[in-house]
Each structure stands twice: as C-alpha cells, then as structure tokens.
Copies of this chain bind each other. A is one copy, B any other.
C-alpha cells in the first residue's frame, strides 16, 4: 500500500501540524502535547474532551470547535493516548465548570483516560466520563471488553457538545451523553484492510471476492467473512443486526449516519443510504436527519458503517443546534 507521507515515525506530529495550520480559526496544538484545543475558550461552560489513537481522521481533531469538543487527544496510530496527554488536555480546557471525557470502549483508552481523570481530580478539577460502545457486531474484541466504540461516538460529540454549549452543568451534560450512548447502535463492514504506516503491510488480508462483516475500526475481526454481496443485501443484513439489538417501532424518530471507512466512494455510501432509508421507511420510522460521509475512518480501509440514533425531543434539539468545527458543521 502506497502512502503519501514522509517518515512513518513522524506521521502523527506532521499531521497535527498540518491540521493546526489548516484551521487556526478553530483550534491550536498544545505546545508540549499531542492535543488540539479550541482557539476560543472564552465561554464559561462545561468542557468536552475526547480522543484516542490516530488513523481515524477526522475523528477526533476535526470535531474541535463550537458546539462539539473543546479538546482532542491524539495517540500514535491505533494506539491509546497516554494518561499525561489526556491530563494536559483536561487542564487546558477546564474553566471551573468541569470536564466530560468521551471515551471509545477500548481497554487502553478506558484505562488511560481514567488515570488522567484521577490526576486531574487531585488538582481539584471536576471530571466525569462516559464510554461509548455502539458497535453491535461482536460482544468482546481484540482490544475491548464489551462492545467496541465506533462511529456513534460522533453523535455523542455533537449532542453532548451542544448541551455543554447551551450551559448545562456537568452532571446534566453527562446524562445527555449517556442517553445518546444508550440510544445509538452501529455496525461496520470492510472490503479491504488498512495499513499502519510503521508496520508497512496490511493489518489483514481479504481475498479479492470476500468482505468482512462487523469489522472494527482497527481491523479487528467481525462476525464472519463472506463472498461480496450487493449493497442492498449487505445493508439489509447490517441494519437487521442493529434493529435486533434496538427494535424500532412505527412513529419512532431517528438520525442516521452512513460513514465511509476511507476508500469507499461517496457514490457507494449514497447507494447504501438509499437502502437504509427504504428499510426504515417501510417500518414507519421517521428519519429526522441523515449524515453521509467520512466521520470515523480507518486509515485507507474500504468499507462503511451504519449508525442509527433513536431520538427524543431533547436529543433532537441538541442535534439541531449549531456546530462549527473543521469536519462537522451544522447551521441551525
């Protein structure tokens, strides 16, 4: 797999520099940490911090800005950020109203974010955390106890971010984040592997006519491999798995995210969305808002994930509020 990079050892630092140079109106890099923080921290509100291993861009640096994250901590590629880095992020963005950590459910992330929480609390900073585990594919996985956290995390950023921006207190922002987590389900699939720059070879190999269903965003095994099927058949299977886990009834309202893993053209994501829309509409489910694009990727993997978020009036309101970040903008 060809990569347009310089030295594999420098991809993280050079990427962060490239992001900071591209978006000074939104964010800046902390001097001595791999942390992107909002340029404008003047508003007195609860702060949101997320992050994880790199290689999932635009997650999470692309979501730093108004109405979403106050800081994103970037680990090395597919590697949890260390506790001291998360701690630096928390210190940089706390304005006295406390900090909510949004953690994807990978053992390393959970451990390191928790240690950072302890460190910050010893400084007297109020810190709460939530763990996102939206992936219905498998129960435990390579780096995870319980379900993995994948693209549904972006809904947590958006909605909890809006709640914080609206002035809710830490306990309430956490409550809203937890409601999103309990209402969102996702599932992914891959047509091809990703390649970690330092490794230089694909994480796994798929025969030319096979796909992996339920794959994780680091190439963790899914439920099974199969001969490639049509977009409609594949979508139906994935959505079926989501709906088995979170049944929806006629009249329910949802938001949908069809997320590209990187190398899948937008054309194909829209063909998938056509089927998602058809299936949900046939059930009488109302699709309040649809997002199609690359929200949480896996280096150059081809494939996609579907996320479904069940809405109530509170989630709907915060989902609809203004967001203004490099990778996610919503105009109220």
Contacts and interface: CB of A to CB of B under 8 A. Distances in A.
Contacts of A271: 4-6, 11, 14-15, 18
Contacts of A234: 4
Given A2-B302, A4-B191, A294-B294, A274 B14 contact: yes
> Which of A22, A272, A297, A330 has most chain B Cβ within 10 Å?
A22
> Which of A17, A292, A322 has most chain B Cβ within 10 Å?
A292
A183 interface: no
Nearest to A25: B289
For chain A, the bracket of interface size reads 35 or more
Contact of A331 (B273, B290, B322): B322
B300 A263 contact: yes
Contact of A273 (B18, B191, B297, B303): B18
A82 interface: no
Interface stretch (A50-58, A101-109, A170-178): A50-58
A19 B270 contact: yes
Contact of A22 (B11, B292, B303): B292
A34 interface: no
A18 B265 contact: no
A23 B293 CA distance: 12
Contact of A274 (B17, B192, B329): B17
A57 B297 contact: no
A48 interface: no
A262 interface: yes
Interface string A279-317: 000000001001111100101101110000000000000
21 contacts: A2-B192, A2-B208, A2-B228, A2-B302, A4-B234, A4-B303, A6-B232, A11-B267, A11-B271, A14-B270, A21-B277, A21-B290, A22-B273, A22-B291, A55-B267, A58-B266, A265-B297, A324-B331, A329-B330, A329-B331, A331-B331
